[in-house]
Amino acid sequence: MEKDVMIVTGAGQIGMAIARRMGYGKKIILGDKSSENAQAAAKVMNDAGFDVQPVELDLSSRDSILDLIAEAEKEGEITMLVNAAGVSPSQAPIEAILKVDLYGTAVLLEEVGKVIAQGGVGVTISSQSGHRMPQLSPQEDEQLACTPTEELLSLELLQPGNIRDTLHAYQLAKRCNEKRVMAEAVKWGERGARINSISPGIIVTPLAIDEFNGPRGDFYKNMFAKCPAGRPGTADEVANVAELLMGGKGAFITGADFLIDGGATASYFYGPLKPRES
């Protein structure tokens, strides 16, 4: 018997927490650039009664994304998408951050949006970083939202001279994710499907641990110590939001972004984390 199919990209902590919460009874096609990560996560899940097929995926490649979707379609109708693959500012250079987090996410939303089942639902993991960057102009926001995917990386605001460092590239990529979700929600809606993004703050995962040990380690540790929650979050808390967005209680939510950061962004603008003029 064919099962409904859930595509999950990123065999990391956040992707797996959402897959465990929403994927029971579905065929889960799990794509990751590291087949080791995908296979290890699939084993843990399959040993717990899930049905996970690991697939090698490079989110920065349209061909690789199309292969992943073709693999999923062999199994049945694609009813869910969870995009939790990505690289952080301490893990990759500017070019790779833009190619994976910005371009790859845009292509994935576009391509899955062409085949998602009626009533289907997706979430993509953005970041609080997209909220912390100063506002862009309405024209720049519209460019990030609507520029055809193959032209995105040629936009003036994404050219090397206009990007300060890897954190700035990450912020732009995550802002783009949120804008892309808004534009895609209109297209997904034509198929009776919904798509939203979740913007986590610091969530303890290997990616965050790389940040704690990277050049901005003290900045991040200070951020969760001084935010209203006073601690980092967990992948299971991100899955709580995904459960709302992907389930029936989220039926009226699409094209939206949900910030889950323990109040760090609030504190960055109006509290103890506010950058002081030196």
Q: Tell me which of 5, 7, 11, 22 binds ligand NAD, using CB under 6 A.
A: 11
Under the binding rule (CB under 6 A), the answer on residue 60 touching ligand NAD is yes
Asked whether the beta carbons of 21 and 84 are under 8 A apart, the reply is no
Catalytic annotation, pick one of 170, 179, 220, 268: 170
Under the binding rule (CB under 6 A), the answer on residue 208 touching ligand NAD is yes
Residue 139 Cβ vs ligand NAD, minimum distance, rounded to whole Å? 26
Under the binding rule (CB under 6 A), the answer on residue 80 touching ligand NAD is no
Handedness of CA 205, 239, 107, 161 (dihedral sign): negative
52 three-class SS: strand
Residue nearest to ligand NAD (CB): 12
| Residue 43 falls in the annotated catalytic set | no
Q: Tell me which of 22, 58, 131, 264 binds ligand NAD, using CB under 6 A.
A: 58
Asked whether the beta carbons of 202 and 233 are under 8 A apart, the reply is yes
Choose between 86 and 122: whose C-beta lies nearer to ligand NAD. Answer: 86
Under the binding rule (CB under 6 A), the answer on residue 265 touching ligand NAD is no
Under the binding rule (CB under 6 A), the answer on residue 125 touching ligand NAD is yes
* Contacting range for ligand NAD; rule: CB under 6 A; set: 107-115, 130-138, 186-194, 199-207: 199-207
Choose between 11 and 182: whose C-beta lies nearer to ligand NAD. Answer: 11
Under the binding rule (CB under 6 A), the answer on residue 169 touching ligand NAD is no
200 three-class SS: strand
CA distance linking residue 209 with residue 42, whole number of Å: 22
Choose between 9 and 196: whose C-beta lies nearer to ligand NAD. Answer: 9
DSSP string over 161-182: GG--SHHHHHHHHHHHHHHHHH
Under the binding rule (CB under 6 A), the answer on residue 23 touching ligand NAD is no
Q: State CA 87 to chain mean position distance.
A: 10
**CA-to-CA separations, 155 to 25, 214, 233, in angstroms, rounded:** 42, 29, 34
* Type of residue found at 128: Q
CA distance linking residue 217 with residue 97, whole number of Å: 19
Q: Tell me which of 90, 205, 254, 267 binds ligand NAD, using CB under 6 A.
A: 205
Catalytic annotation, pick one of 27, 33, 174, 179: 174
Residue 109 Cβ vs ligand NAD, minimum distance, rounded to whole Å? 13
Q: Label residues 152-167 b or e (16+ Cβ within 10 Å = b).
A: beebeebeeeebeebb
| Residue 170 falls in the annotated catalytic set | yes
Under the binding rule (CB under 6 A), the answer on residue 84 touching ligand NAD is yes
Choose between 8 and 183: whose C-beta lies nearer to ligand NAD. Answer: 8
* Contacting range for ligand NAD; rule: CB under 6 A; set: 86-94, 178-186, 188-196, 268-276: 86-94
H helices within the chain, ranges in order?
13-22, 35-46, 62-75, 94-97, 105-113, 129-132, 138-146, 166-190, 206-212, 217-226, 235-246, 264-270
Q: Which residues bind ligand NAD (CB under 6 A)?
A: 9-15, 32-34, 37, 57-60, 84-88, 100, 125, 127, 200, 202-203, 205-208
